[in-house]
Amino acid sequence: MTAHIDAFDRYRHGHSILHRLDPRLKVVIVVAYIVSNSLLPDGAWSAFTAAWLVLLLANALAGLGITYTFKRSFVALPFALAAVTVLFVPEGNPLVDVHIMRSTFLVTDAGLVRFGSIVARSWLSVQMAILLVTVTQFPDLIHAWEHLRVPRILTTVVAFLYRYLFVLSDEVLRLLRAREARSAAAPGHRAGGSLAWRARGAGHLAGQLFVRSYERSDRIYQAMLARGYSGHIRTLNPHDVHLRDWLVAFVALILIAALQWLGWR
């Protein structure tokens, strides 16, 4: 069991128009789309539907099949639980009584609209974010940030994090497997010690991981110096914005503006 790159990275190789689009324009478009979703008023169902159609179009343009991001979009769902409470906004007309523990909650139409809108916004936004990393290699994304004036120290730390994430994940999986191998339990018998004992075990794993990471960072630095590292990370992909990129970005921003118009009409 090793953490291969696909355990974390969603990038899917391709040559579609979205794959080839300049990364910084992709970041700008995705952020604009997400901001546009937050700006749409509650209950703007036609605009939410149109935003969903834009998303399907983007999926198709990326050559992934139109349901690609939908299948991977359930990560944000648990959080919707927190928003369930807005169902009971006292404004608006009551629809259904819910009885929980001798108390009566009224689900109102205003609450239902608010809840639906929050879930729609979040679900559309998370799908667009998934699409971004599906059609952009992570190092290119980091490079895009550099162009967008994110401080270099931050992008470099993120680049190292990405590079060593997989190495240290392997390390942690080895530690966890070793713990697993030493944690045999006979059927019918309680295994393991007290809560504090188990927590101490986990803490020792974390401490051990820290020591190994620290020592590794030293070797990494020496190896990088030996290969000519000069304090910043290079990429082979030239990031030039062509006319075609500007055109795609222009069309995308027009579409987003149209969504706003539809929502506030």
Partner 1 sequence: MYFSPVVLHIPDGFLSLTVALVCWLLTVVLVGLAISKTNRSLGDRQVPLMGVMAAFIFAAQMINFPVAGGTSGHLIGGALAAVLLGPWAAMIVMTAVIAVQALLLQDGGLVAMGANILNMGLLTVAISAGLYRVVARRSAQVRLLVCGAAAWLAVLAGALATSLELWLSSTVSLQVVVPAMLGLHAVIGVGEALITVAAVAFLLRTRPDLVTNGADGPAGLGWVAAGLALSALTLLLVPFASSDPDGLERVARDLGFLARGQPRFGPLIDYAFAGLADTPAASIGAGLVGALVVLAAILVVGRALRGRS
Which residues from 35-64 bind partner 1, rule CB under 8 A? 35, 37-39
Show the binding pattern over residues 112-131: x = contacts partner 1 (CB under 8 A), - = does not: --x---xxxxxxxxx--xx-
Which one, 47 or 110, has the nearer CB to partner 1? 110
Give the shortest CB-31-to-partner 1 separation in angstroms.
6
Q: Which is nearer to partner 1, 5 or 247 (CB)?
A: 5
* Residue 210 vs 250, nearer CB to partner 1: 210
DSSP H or E stretch at residue 3: none
Q: Output 176 or 247, the one with its CB closest to partner 1.
A: 176
Q: Are 108 and 93 contacting, i.e. CB atoms less than 8 angstroms apart?
A: yes
**Is 59 within 8 Å of 65 (Cβ atoms)?**
yes
- Selected binder of partner 1 within 60, 61, 165, 262 (CB under 8 A): 165
CB of 69 to partner 1, least distance (A): 10
Structural element, H or E, at residue 98: strand 94-100
Instruction: Please tell me the distance from the alpha carbon of residue 116 to that of residue 118, in angstroms, as a whole number.
Output: 6
- Find out whether 157 and 217 touch, Cβ atoms under 8 Å: no
Instruction: Using the rule CB under 8 A, give the single segment among 49-57, 202-210, 234-242, 252-260 that binds partner 1.
Output: 202-210
Distance of alpha carbon 246 from alpha carbon 132, whole angstroms: 17
Could you say which residues in the range 128-147 bind partner 1, by CB under 8 A? 129-130, 132-133, 138, 141
Q: Using the rule CB under 8 A, is 85 a contact of partner 1? A: yes
Tell me the C-alpha to C-alpha distance, in Å, between residue 106 and each of 37, 89, 100, 101: 28, 8, 11, 14
The CA distance from 58 to 129, in Å, is 12
Contact (CB, 8 A) for 63 and 14: yes
Residues 6+ apart with CB under 8 A from 235: 139, 140, 143
Minimum distance from residue 133 beta carbon to partner 1 (Å): 6
Considering the rule CB under 8 A, would residue 98 count as an interface residue with partner 1? no
Tokens representing residue 171 in the block: 């390390």
Q: Is 103 in the site for partner 1 (CB under 8 A)?
A: yes
How far is 93 from 70, CA to CA, in rounded Å?
33
Point out which span in 13-21, 53-61, 104-112, 251-259 binds partner 1 (CB under 8 A): 104-112
Q: Is 250 in the site for partner 1 (CB under 8 A)?
A: no
Nearer to partner 1, 83 or 258 (CB): 83
Which span (12-20, 59-67, 220-228, 252-260) binds partner 1, by CB under 8 A?
220-228
Q: 100 has which bridge partners?
A: 103
User: Smallest distance, Å, CB 17 to partner 1?
Assistant: 22
